């Protein structure tokens, strides 16, 4: 019997039915491009959309940010988290996301009084290279709960960074002005200024075609 070559069904199996981010080398990342990342929970865990879970995820994002890697915006859904991040390069992105996964997993295991893995597979990442892509990603992250039907009010989703986001159209801006910003501010031109060329975000604007899973 011969050995070698690709065999059907060979290789590490996904952790659950929603896993399956390809384990291939990630594309090269340069510092001027922000990244949309998604972290998905294993099946069977309790929803992240509780005050306690949201607080520990937020705290992990603050503690996990550094000069080389920082979380700028995020939203917490029942079984996944979206975030817009900036990183010096692909290695800094991987280190930063690995640190976040460890912090969040430890916190959730303490909260849920369990042991074991928390995330179904490694994070999904999409590099954003144009102002339009960044605006679409902001819309996807901040309005993700509307997409899933778990938040419909005109105010920002409370399980997101929307309360301190300064890119809302008139009528929501006062919320951001009165809310302390704990996350880092964007340093890339695309995420701080460039995306605004396509207009500020309406509080009930419908997300366009999904730029990320979830």
Query: Contact, 180 vs 173, CB < 8 A?
Result: no
Those residues whose C-beta lies under 8 Å from the C-beta of residue 15, and which sit 6 or more positions away, are 42, 117, 119, 120, 121
* Mean pLDDT per 10-residue interval, the chain, length 214 residues: 42 47 68 97 94 96 96 97 97 96 96 93 94 97 93 92 92 57 94 97 82 69
209 DSSP assignment: S
Say what the pLDDT of residue 24 is. Answer: 54
Say what the pLDDT of residue 1 is. Answer: 38
pLDDT digits (tens, 9 = 90+) for 192-205: 999 999 999 999 89
Measured CA to CA, the distance from residue 129 to residue 140 in angstroms comes to: 16
Say what the pLDDT of residue 30 is. Answer: 95
Say what the pLDDT of residue 22 is. Answer: 53
Comparing C-alpha atoms, which of 43, 38, 48, 105 is closest to residue 78?
A: 48
Structure tokens at 139: 């819309």
Q: Which residues of 32-68 are buried (b: 16+ CB within 10 A; e: fewer)?
A: ebbbbbbbbbbeebeebbeeebbebbbebbeebbeee
Measured CA to CA, the distance from residue 127 to residue 33 in angstroms comes to: 7
Q: Which residues of 4-26 are buried (b: 16+ CB within 10 A; e: fewer)?
A: eeeeeeeeeeebeebbeeeeeee
Domains and CATH numbers, the chain: 35-198 (3.30.70.1290)
Q: How many residues does the chain have?
A: 214
In this prediction the pTM is 0.83
Measured CA to CA, the distance from residue 73 to residue 93 in angstroms comes to: 15
Say what the pLDDT of residue 7 is. Answer: 43
Say what the pLDDT of residue 62 is. Answer: 96
Say what the pLDDT of residue 17 is. Answer: 44
């Amino acid at each position: 019997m011969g050995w070698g070559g690709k065999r059907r069904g060979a290789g590490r199996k996904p952790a659950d039915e929603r896993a399956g981010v390809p384990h291939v080398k990630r594309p090269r990342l340069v510092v001027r491009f922000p990244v949309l990342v998604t972290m998905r929970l294993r099946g069977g865990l309790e929803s992240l959309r509780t005050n306690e879970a949201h607080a520990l995820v937020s705290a992990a994002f603050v503690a996990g940010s550094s000069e080389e890697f920082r979380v700028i915006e995020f939203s917490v859904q029942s079984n996944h988290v979206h975030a817009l991040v900036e990183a010096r390069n692909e290695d800094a992105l991987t280190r930063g996301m690995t640190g976040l996964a460890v912090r969040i997993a430890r916190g959730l295991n303490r909260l849920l009084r369990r042991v074991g893995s928390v995330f179904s597979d490694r994070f999904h990442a999409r590099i954003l290279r144009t102002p339009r892509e960044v605006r679409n990603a902001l819309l996807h992250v901040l309005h993700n709960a509307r997409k899933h039907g778990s938040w419909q009010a005109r105010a920002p989703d409370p399980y997101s960074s929307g309360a301190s986001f300064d890119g809302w159209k008139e009528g929501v801006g006062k919320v951001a002005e009165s809310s302390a910003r704990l996350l880092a501010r964007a340093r890339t031109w695309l995420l701080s200024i460039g995306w605004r060329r396509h207009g500020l975000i309406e509080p009930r604007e419908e997300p366009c075609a999904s730029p990320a899973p979830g």
